[in-house]
Structure 1
């Protein structure tokens, strides 16, 4: 059995009933994106920008799908308007699994400002978020986060810090 962080994430997504995934390229998510793309039970739609992904996921939800967007946290800034004026306004759940760049261990200084702001932006937008510290914790939290998104009819984020991908 694959015991990588990416495998833990996809296992938990499947436990949560995810059947539709949108992805935006990210170095930390590359293995997970490849796994999603090869999974016959998941529809995978790569997009170029996060706000596009929010709209695609909203349409898939309206069609009965359980949606996840795989993205880097820097894309949160790109998607704030769509999350507020579409998902929050109309009660559309969305699980955002984010590679949380700009935190401890970040080698690229340009990632730090958004990395520090990400939790604050989520709080301001009243978007619940979770920060698991291990693969085992992530597996449980992703299932819980999807349940929260469905129950609250809201976006929910799971922030996976740089260290998570190196476990």
Structure 2
């Protein structure tokens, strides 16, 4: 495998998934995840379950955790609004860890104006829900932050998030 600095942003996220021991991933499509989802799907060590809505993914990941897996969800931040009830009434109530790797749309560089309101609300919603989140400044930080976030989710028995804004995906 190339040195981390030589990896694409997608490659550093994938390396973080591998290094964190994530073996079960639920995904909801997003343009920024278009290269990562096939990588995960092709990995024989990861069970990949595509879902149509984020709250469905929260439930599927909870079941995977109860079955002994280390689950994560690949999603866009607009889906955070869809999943709030499931995160609060399932994961937080029953102490079920989950790492959400979130493509953070609606921030600087966003070409679609409809993404902006949720982009501005993403961090405040996570804070309101007491869900810790990590925001790597560069692709070189992503791998380690994914490991830290996954460890935090399991230590604290709660959801945790990685926010990856448009600027992250555009790094060379």
Provide TM-score, normalisation by structure 2. 0.96
CA distance in 2, matches of 1:101, 1:68: 19
CA distance in 2, matches of 1:143, 1:85: 25
Aligned to 2:114: 110
> 1:22 Cα deviation (Å)?
0.2
Provide TM-score, normalisation by structure 1. 0.99
2:66 to 62, 84, 87: 62
Aligned to 2:55: 51
2:161 to 150, 157, 161: 157
Q: Does 1:37 align with 2:27?
A: no
> 1:122 Cα deviation (Å)?
0.3
CA distance in 1, matches of 2:160, 2:32: 20
Unaligned runs of 5+ residues in structure 1 are none
> 1:66 Cα deviation (Å)?
0.2
Q: Does 1:137 align with 2:145?
A: no
1:73 to 47, 55, 77: 77
1:160 is paired with a residue whose SS is: strand
Runs of 4+ in 1 over 4 A off after TM superposition: none
Aligned-residue Cα RMSD (Å) equals 0.7
Number of residue pairs aligned between Structure 1 and Structure 2: 167
2:32 is paired with a residue whose SS is: coil
Equivalent residue runs for 1:11-26 within 5 Å? 11-26=15-30
Offset from partner CA, 1:44-66 (integer Å, 9 cap, x none): 00000000000000000000000
Unaligned runs of 5+ residues in structure 2 are none
CA distance in 1, matches of 2:80, 2:7: 28
